[in-house]
Structure 1
């Protein structure tokens, strides 16, 4: 979510990133209504089939130019500072206004949407740890880790450990993705087939919303929390992976390739991501969702989410919120580098804070 390269095909991934942040805003706006509205529940289930796997995938794609060296270290520091700032802000607002039930006010338990920052930090470290493995082996290892994570003997939300491992395969796949590998989507027949497939999944959501436990799509719950203590529960995770891959591939048919205003908005999705939670939680605390009972109301919520996404992605918001959203961490990098220089090291060891080739 930090930094954009000038690689060929970036426009497609920026367009995708903006469409996905619209989906993130929409699902969070629909969540308070899913128990009261079958329409909201079906839209919610359909979007959850693909939006988080794809968001992690596109984040992995944009991580590639800045995973290693000085840029990689600075990105890790910035993610850490962002997390500390917004975990503090959301926790303060929650204690004063939002009062969301079941929230642990701790830096070790990310506040709702902030799990993504904690997991993004860990995905980068895990990928660095696997850098000597071939891409195919990295994917296999990440799938194994994601499957085994469900057997953890404690609550999966702590440190976002469950989501970190469950969505790791998508980050690895995104990191090794190139424009050439998805260029076949330019073919009108492929795009039509993909869009048709996505619409079929939306129709299927009418059935799956009643039979599919959404906790499987969240990735934040262990198998025990999902009510499956069987030794073979990991097979269900494999099935969910397949569903998410199909749904994600189908949604790509909606994404335009051309650079334009959508791409420019897509370069500022971090602002939407970190700020939209205040709007959703504020609306819930004000009781606005209690007045939404009809299909027309659900549609209004979706349209409003789209409009607010565009608003938060405008340059004016970036100028106003830039110091908070993308804090300068050069001072922290310099300080950490000075400490690293004075750490004892073995003969031939290099400064770990210096860029590597």
Structure 2
């Protein structure tokens, strides 16, 4: 199957939004214009990322060595960077046992990806309609909010974003992308602009509990049943924006370009950007600079450019899986002898 460069370009666009969203998160304390942009980003960037993760997931089967190696590599990256994130807390703070099972910052995604890819091997064995599986996944995503589980082991988030992963996985072998591309781009632009304007207009509406997907309904500020309705609406609105974004990229970024090249390295951008942000905000937190959310639009390009530069050096990619890469190196060296 030929590589679809538009999807790689989308991945790079999304990782830039991840970095911007995390940067804005440091500044936003009041309901401002920046808060509206922040809400808009979170309405779709992770759902679309999860969809693409599902789209690129292979159904190797439970007995496949490739499948287990891919999961172990994800787990290795998760453990390594989770430990690195916790070092400052270990040195300067008291750590309780529950905090240890909560993934550090953005690393929840790696843990959830392990769950999703493992579950995908089961779904590939089912001989039922894709729509039945997808509807079941939506039901699971909605009902999971009633479970008394939160951020621990990223279980609630795994269920919350599960429908998007299953959608990408199930429709990767269909002509779904062709149908998305067939949509008039004016409709896509209109959908995106309307969503953005609504987020800017409803700037006083706190949607964090909805779009983060990490809290059970009982802990949400909206209450039990309202949270259920809002999560369902989130699925719908997010899906519309995701389809619109895909449509535009399939139209205008169909050829290989610098964004598509960098889109293949999103893992590197994902695991390293938090350290850069942590370093930057260590120096500016508590200063007058924190009063200017617009500074996020300056910091984000700097971080992206820095990550672009270090991605030129293979050592940084190698360090995302040092154990696995060391074993491979020793194995290849032994075979050469």
TM-score computed with the length of structure 1 as normaliser: 0.80
Give CA deviations for 1:285-309 in whole Å, capped at 9, x if unaligned: 2234743467xx5444224313422
- Following superposition, the deviation at residue 10 of structure 1 comes to 2.1
Q: Which moved more, 1:247-256 or 1:160-169?
A: 247-256
- Structure 2 residue runs of 5 or longer lacking an equivalent are 329-337
Q: CA deviation digits over 1:122-149, x for unaligned, max 9?
A: 1112222333333222212211111111
Equivalent pair of 2:145/2:228 in contact (CA under 8 Å): yes
Residue in structure 2 matched with residue 153 of structure 1 by the alignment: 148
The counterpart of 1:180, out of the listed 175, 183, 194, is 175
Name the residue aligned to 1:286. Answer: 283
Q: CA deviation at 1:101?
A: 11
Cα distance in 1, alignment partners of residues 178 and 187 from structure 2: 15
Worse overlay, 86-95 or 32-41: 32-41
Q: Deviations over 1:9-41 (max 9, x none)?
A: 521110100000000000000001221461220
Higher helix proportion (structure 1 or 2)? 2
Q: Is the 8 A contact 2:59 2:121 kept in 1?
A: no
Aligned to 1:259: 256
Partner residue, 2:110: 117
Q: In the alignment, is residue 275 of structure 1 matched against residue 268 of structure 2?
A: no
Q: Contact 2:210–2:234 at 8 Å: present in 1 too?
A: yes
Q: Summarize the alignment of residues 28-107 of structure 1 with structure 2, pairs less than 5 Å apart.
A: 28-36=22-30, 38-64=32-58, 69-96=64-91, 105-106=99-100
- The whole-number CA distance in structure 2 between the counterparts of 1:287 and 1:331 is 38
The secondary structure found in structure 2 opposite 1:227 is coil
Check whether the contact 1:21–1:309 (CA below 8 A) recurs between aligned residues.
no
Say if 1:117 and 1:290 are closer, same or farther in 2 by CA, change over 3 A: same
Instruction: Tell me: CA distance 1:138–1:276, structure 2 relative to 1, closer, same or farther (3 Å).
Output: same
Residues 142 and 172 in structure 1, CA contact (< 8 A), matched pair in contact too: yes
Alignment check: 8 A CA contact 1:283 1:289 kept: no
Distance 1:102 1:200 in 2: 44
Change in CA separation of 1:121 and 1:143 when aligned onto 2, cut-off 3 Å: same
The Cα offsets for residues 145-172 of structure 1, whole Å up to 9 and x where unpaired, read as 1111111124x10010000011011111
Alignment partner, residue 122 of structure 2: 129
Cα offset, 1:315, TM superposition? 6.4
Is residue 309 of structure 1 aligned with residue 321 of structure 2? no
**8 Å Cα contact 2:185/2:248 also seen in 1:** yes
Unaligned segments of structure 1, at least 5 residues: 1-6, 334-357
The residue matched to 2:57 in structure 1 has which SS?
A: helix
- Contact conserved, 1:268 with 1:318, CA < 8 A, in 2? no
Q: Is the 8 A contact 1:149 1:162 kept in 2?
A: yes
> What is the rounded CA distance, in whole Å, between the counterparts of 2:293 and 2:180 in structure 1?
31
Aligned to 1:338: none
1:219 aligned residue (180, 201, 213): 213
- Name segments (4+ residues, structure 1) moved above 6 Å: 99-103, 330-333
Listed one character per residue, the Cα deviations across residues 188-207 of structure 1 (whole Å, up to 9, x for unaligned) are x7223212221111111123
CA distance in 1, matches of 2:289, 2:180: 38
* Aligned residues between the structures: 321
Residue 164 of structure 1, aligned match among 154, 158, 170: 158
2:202 aligned partner: 208
Q: Output the TM-score relative to the length of structure 2.
A: 0.85
* Alpha-carbon distance change, 197 to 101 in structure 1, aligned in 2, over 3 angstroms: farther
Does the CA-based 8 Å contact 1:271-1:318 persist in structure 2? Answer: no
In 2, Cα distance between the equivalents of 1:104 and 1:251? 38
Once the two structures are TM-superposed, the CA of residue 248 in structure 1 deviates from its matched residue by 1.6
Contact 2:210/2:227, CA 8 A, preserved across alignment: no
DSSP-derived class of the 2:256 partner = coil
How far is the alpha carbon of 1:240 from its aligned partner? Answer: 1.5
Q: For residues 198-243 of structure 1, what are the alpha-carbon distances to aligned partners after superposition, in whole Å with 9 as ceiling and x for unaligned?
A: 1111111123331243210001111011035545743332121111
